[in-house]
A and B are shown apart, each in its own frame.
Chain A
């Protein structure tokens, strides 16, 4: 029974395919899975928008949307209808073809990442041998779509926003890749399914997730920071800093095209959170051996929603960074830490089992963190703030 529930979607798919002739089964199976992914994540996106608006409202001591439906929970439906019926405006000086293609390419590349994410036991669209590489290749392609949107709008703010976004994504992509490489070093595989399997062991009822190792913990922290920056989320949302750039690269988009940008941003957040869960939190595995009876897909999507909660919490808490702070942080702190983490992971591997490697690896990472953090801070000359006009 429990196994049935765990595999319910897999069994459902096989049940449907059973009615079809032999040579139809593979293409229809692929199309079914794709339709599920393309349908599911926008639904989660709608759910997240209302959660975010409600959550931000609570943090900022206000109620949030409460007009549509009980407690305002039908707000996403109203938003969806509104964006569908709005006029689609294309500026006269805009490059209409590129202007049209940008949101399409963005959404397509963002959805492609889900092809290799295992969302439950046996629930992966394609188990590629180079799955992680595929994911990052697709992630890198989104930058071009952002640039296309900003450039084709023929608007200073759009172009500035796009340049900021692309510069930020390029910088943090290095950290994102390097912080993920430690996991690949340990599992010896780029396949995300194999990475999850490597973490699906338990000692004393506790899982072997990579987050519970020194290199995994440091890698996860850096992955989380780089992932937040990669998805242009607060506190790294400079590309759409309202006070400076109106709305960044999607200033000149309205109606459903704007909704597509919005969708792509949230789906990218789901995607990066899913990859983070897969790499460091054991993907669909249970956090305790005693809880393994709960279906694997519940764990995966549960982890996804915890990550979304953290994203919302961060957005409510942290102020936006400045451009120079952003770049300095990426190249002077994240990159050296990521490189050191690679070294520590190698050390961990060659020191064999024992308590010595725990002490040495943790000490190395903490020491580097403290020394680099202190050094950076000393170079900053942080003093009491002076206000030119307010005093």
Chain B
């Protein structure tokens, strides 16, 4: 358990660090994909097959491609001359440290309130499907409507621009 967990964590953290530190934007996107993949492996290591595979399917398969397309379709694929690092990195560092501290504090404080279970619950994909279609059907439908609206909105935004250029 221990060794595998640390290996996967190193992969995820290394990918995330590379995404922030690398200079070329496409390299950053690829490193981010590595971090996504590491997260998926973490889910799998926790026996969460559905979450793990969906993480790969959605994040590695779709979100990473979307990021890459966005980079290539805008001017961002070239390295700017004045360097990629912001001048106000000190402020950014302080804010990031503050956010991290709050999150870490919250996670550490949450320990006693979590239900203590002796064995890991065995949740199959079948159970998730039943839960989604019975107890959580309303949230599922609301999210579906929201996503459809977002999709239509995106199409309308894209169409509008096309007409204007005519």
Give the shortest distance, in Å, between B145 (CB) and chain A (any CB). 16
Which of chain B's residues have a CB closer than 8 A to the CB of A130? 49-50, 53, 125
Q: Could you say which of B26, B27, B53, B62 contacts A134, with CB atoms under 8 Å apart? A: B53
Whether the pair B57, A136 counts as a contact (CB closer than 8 A) is: yes
Query: Which residues of chain A are within 8 angstroms of B56 by Cβ–Cβ distance?
Result: 137-138, 140-141
Contact between chains at B65 and A147 (CB < 8 Å): yes
Q: Which of B30, B49, B61 contacts A148 (CB 8 A)?
A: B30
Which of A140, A151, A189 touches B60 (beta carbons < 8 Å)? A140
CA distance A159 to B26 in the complex (A): 13
- What CA separation (Å) do A98 and B68 show in the bound complex? 14
Residues in B81-128 with C-beta less than 8 Å from chain A:
124-126
Total A-B residue pairs with C-beta atoms closer than 8 Å? 65
Query: B13 near A: Cβ within 8 Å?
Result: no
* Chain B residues, Cβ within 8 Å of A138: 56
A50 within 8 Å of B (CB atoms): no
Q: Does residue A188 face the partner (Cβ distance < 8 Å to B)?
A: yes
| Other-chain residue from B57, B64, B126 in contact with A144 (beta carbon distance below 8 A) | B64
A9 and B61 alpha carbons, distance in the complex (Å)? 35
Question: Nearest CB to that of B24 among chain A residues?
Answer: A95
A42 to chain B, nearest CB (A): 25
A 181-198 to B, binary, CB cutoff 8 A, 1 in contact else 0: 000000011100000000
Contact A141 B60, beta carbon cutoff 8 Å = yes
Shortest CB-to-CB span from A115 to chain B, Å, is: 12
Q: Enumerate chain B residues within 8 angstroms of A139, measured Cβ to Cβ.
A: 61
The verdict on A252 contacting chain B, using a C-beta distance below 8 Å, is no
Residues of A within 8 A of B54 (CB): 133, 137
Check A129 against B65 for contact (C-beta < 8 Å): no
Q: How far is the CA of A151 from the CA of B64 in the complex (A)?
A: 14
B57–A140 touching, CB < 8 Å: yes
Q: In the complex, which residues of chain B have a beta carbon less than 8 angstroms from the beta carbon of A133?
A: 49-50, 53-54, 57, 125
Which residues of A are found within 8 Å of B57, using beta-carbon distances? 133, 136-137, 140
Complex Cα spacing A269 to B98, Å = 51
Question: Which residues of the partner chain B approach A147 to less than 8 Å between Cβ atoms?
Answer: 65, 68
Within 8 A of B (CB), among A211-253: none
Verify A189–B126 contact, CB threshold 8 A. Answer: yes
Find chain A residues with CB under 8 A from B69 CB: 163, 166
> Which of the four size classes fits the interface of chain B?
20 to 34
Contact with A along B60-74 (1 / 0, CB 8 A): 111011001100100
Closest chain A residue, CB of each to CB of B40: A137
- Per-residue contact bits, chain B 36-61, to A (CB 8 Å; 1 contact, 0 not): 00000000000001100110110011
CA of A137 to CA of B125 in the docked complex: distance in angstroms?
Answer: 15
Interface size, chain A (Cβ < 8 Å)? 26
Give the distance in Å from the alpha carbon of A136 to the alpha carbon of B50 in the complex: 12
Whether a CB of chain B sits under 8 angstroms from the CB of A170 is yes
Write the A279-309 contact mask toward B (1 if CB under 8 angstroms, else 0).
0000000000000000000000000000000
Report the minimal beta-carbon distance from B58 to chain A, rounded to whole angstroms. 8
Given contacts A137-B53, A137-B57, A141-B60, contact A190 B125 (CB under 8 A): yes
Residues of chain A within 8 A (CB-CB) of B33 are 144
Once the chains bind, are B61 and A143 in contact (CB under 8 Å)?
Answer: yes
B26 contacts across to A, CB distance below 8 A: 151
B22 → A minimal CB distance (Å) = 11
* Chain A positions within 8 Å of B62 at CB level: 140, 170
A129 adjacent to B124 (CB under 8 Å)? yes
A166 to B65, CA, bound (A): 8
Q: Which of B26, B53, B56 is most buried by chain A, counting CB atoms within 10 A of its CB?
A: B53
CA distance A357 to B146 in the complex (A): 34
- The answer to whether A129 touches B61, judged by C-beta atoms less than 8 angstroms apart, is no
Q: A133-B53, A137-B53 are in contact. Are A144 and B60 (CB under 8 A)?
A: yes
Q: Is A128 an interface residue (CB 8 A)?
A: yes
A55 CA to B65 CA in the complex, in Å?
36
State the Cβ distance, A249 to closest chain B Cβ, in Å.
13
Residue of A with least CB distance to B64: A144
Near B by CB (< 8 A), chain A positions 98-138 give 98, 128-130, 133-134, 136-138
Is A137 a contact partner of B61 (Cβ separation < 8 A)? yes
Shortest distance from the beta carbon of B34 to any chain A beta carbon, whole Å: 10
- In the complex, residue of chain A having the shortest beta-carbon distance to the beta carbon of B73: A163
* B126: A residues at CB distance < 8 A: 129, 188-189
In the complex, residue of chain A having the shortest beta-carbon distance to the beta carbon of B37: A141
Measured CB to CB, the nearest residue on chain A to B61 is: A140
Which residues of chain B come closer than 8 Å to A189, judged between CB atoms? 126
- Contacts A130-B53, A134-B53, A147-B65 hold; do A163 and B60 have CB atoms under 8 A apart? no
**Using a CB–CB distance below 8 Å, which chain B residues touch chain A?**
24, 26-27, 30, 33, 49-50, 53-54, 56-57, 60-62, 64-65, 68-69, 72, 124-126
Which 3 A-B residue pairings sit nearest by Cβ, starting from the closest? A140-B61, A137-B56, A133-B53
Chain A residues near B (Cβ < 8 Å): 95, 98, 128-130, 133-134, 136-141, 143-144, 147-148, 151, 159, 163, 166, 170, 173, 188-190
